[in-house]
Amino acid sequence: MKNYANIRIEVVTDKSIQFLETLRDDIGLSRIYHELIIPQDYQCPNNSLFKARALEWGAKKSHCHENAYILHLDEESIIDEDLYLGVRQFISIYKGYIGQGIITYSGEYFECRGF
């Protein structure tokens, strides 16, 4: 197995994701994969909802050290080799910077009709 000592995967979610737990155990990522489950009764100080609520909970409960790079993805994100290579390239070139990529809804993955 590869050494993933520098990687920590934290998934912030409203409920446990069984598929990800199984995948974690099957490919041996139990040391780096962690779920941060938001309690149903959790309220943000400013009553934020949905993604903002999840980001607030994740920021409070994350175990990342202060020099960590944090990549926020959501349910529309496609995790593939290009994502990995792009993140790796960004970190190697722009140490300590904040970045934001382009948000696209690619026709490569979804068929569009009717415009």
Q: pLDDT tens, 19-74?
A: 667 767 776 667 777 889 999 999 999 999 998 999 999 999 998 888 788 888 87
Q: How many domains does the chain have?
A: 1
Domain extent, residue 50, equals 9-93
In a domain, 108, yes or no: no
Q: What's the whole-number mean pLDDT along residues 103-112?
A: 60
So what's the pLDDT on residue 60?
92
Tell if the pTM clears 0.85, that is, is over it: no
In a domain, 43, yes or no: yes
The answer to whether 37 and 14 are in contact (CB under 8 A) is yes
In a domain, 115, yes or no: no
36-60 burial string, b = 16+ CB within 10 Å, else e? bebeeeeeeeeeeeeeebbebbbee
Determine what percent of the chain falls in helix, strand and coil, rounding each to the nearest 5: 30, 10, 60
In a domain, 67, yes or no: yes
Q: Is 35 exposed, middle or buried (0-12, 13-18, 19+ CB in 10 A)?
A: middle
The answer to whether 9 and 72 are in contact (CB under 8 A) is no
In a domain, 106, yes or no: no
